[in-house]
Amino acid sequence: MNFTDRLLSAADSGLRTLFATPRAARPNPATSTPQEPVELTPEEQRLSGALMRVNHVGEVCAQALYTSQALTTRNNALRSQLEAAAREETDHLAWTSERLRQLGDRPSLLNPLWYAGAFGIGLIAGKVGGDALSLGFVVETERQVEAHLASHMDRLPAQDSASRAIVAQMKEDESHHADAALLAGGIPLPAPVRGVMRLAAKVMTGTAHYI
């Protein structure tokens, strides 16, 4: 595809991420958990819903990040790798969306804002720093997301096996994405950049917990 085609594809991806029902290519990990209904207290249900909303926001941002970086790279092999990672993130988007519905909760009302911000960051990383910096940004992002998901495993109600199964599979996938980006040539980001990323993630997750 030429650049115009890729730009139109990126716009289509953004619209589908924000407004369409995502379709997973892999089975939902929650289906492997016991099928007997698990009764959560109202407080536990609200907590699980809030945490899954935060995770859903993370997947919205992942779609934006991978889409923008695939748009900026001139390396066809790298573009294919980024697009493959985005497809796995679509699974995560579908799983978290489905779990939110099951919990009687909703996605973040600010998803268009989160998507636009992540897309812009991905564009800057790809344009200013080239492929090595762009991949380094992926590595750092996925490492931070992996740690974030680990914290959710500690916070989710013990009996919410469905949410816990989804988060566990997401954590494994994010680790693979980080490893793949590192092997593809990602370079370490400067400490101040990593710090800003952690601060931005804290603001996003704190806001998405409620809104």
In this prediction the pTM is 0.90
Give me the half-sphere count of Cα atoms (radius 13 Å) on the Cβ side of residue 136: 15
Would residue 125 count as lying in a domain? yes
Residue 130: inside a domain: yes
Report which residue type is found at 5. Answer: D
In a domain, 28, yes or no: no
Among 16-25, 32-41, 47-56, 190-199, the range with the most confident prediction by mean pLDDT is: 47-56
Q: Tell me what pLDDT residue 35 has.
A: 57
In this prediction, residue 88 carries a pLDDT of 84
pLDDT digits (tens, 9 = 90+) for 58-101: 999 988 888 888 888 888 888 888 888 888 889 999 999 999 99
Residue 32 belongs to a domain: no
CATH number, domain containing residue 122: 1.20.1260.10
* Residue pLDDT, tens place only, 146-204: 999 999 999 999 999 999 999 999 999 999 989 988 888 888 888 888 888 888 888 88
Q: In this structure, is residue 123 part of a structural domain?
A: yes
Answer left, alpha or beta for residue 62, where phi above 0 means left and psi between -120 and 50 means alpha: alpha
Question: Does the structure show a pLDDT above 90 at 132?
Answer: no
Burial state string for 2-29 with b = 16 or more CB within 10 A and e = fewer than 16: eeeebeeebeebbeebbeeebebeeebb
Residue span of the structural domain in which 181 resides: 42-208
Q: Between 45 and 85, name the one with better pLDDT.
A: 45
Q: Is 162 within the bounds of a domain? A: yes
Which tokens in the block code for residue 17?
């991420």
Our count of domains for the chain comes to: 1
- Tokens for 113, please give them: 């804002």
Question: Is residue 23 situated within a structural domain?
Answer: no
d(CA 121, CA 61): 10
| Cα gap 65→115, rounded to integer Å | 8
Residue 21 in any domain: the answer is no
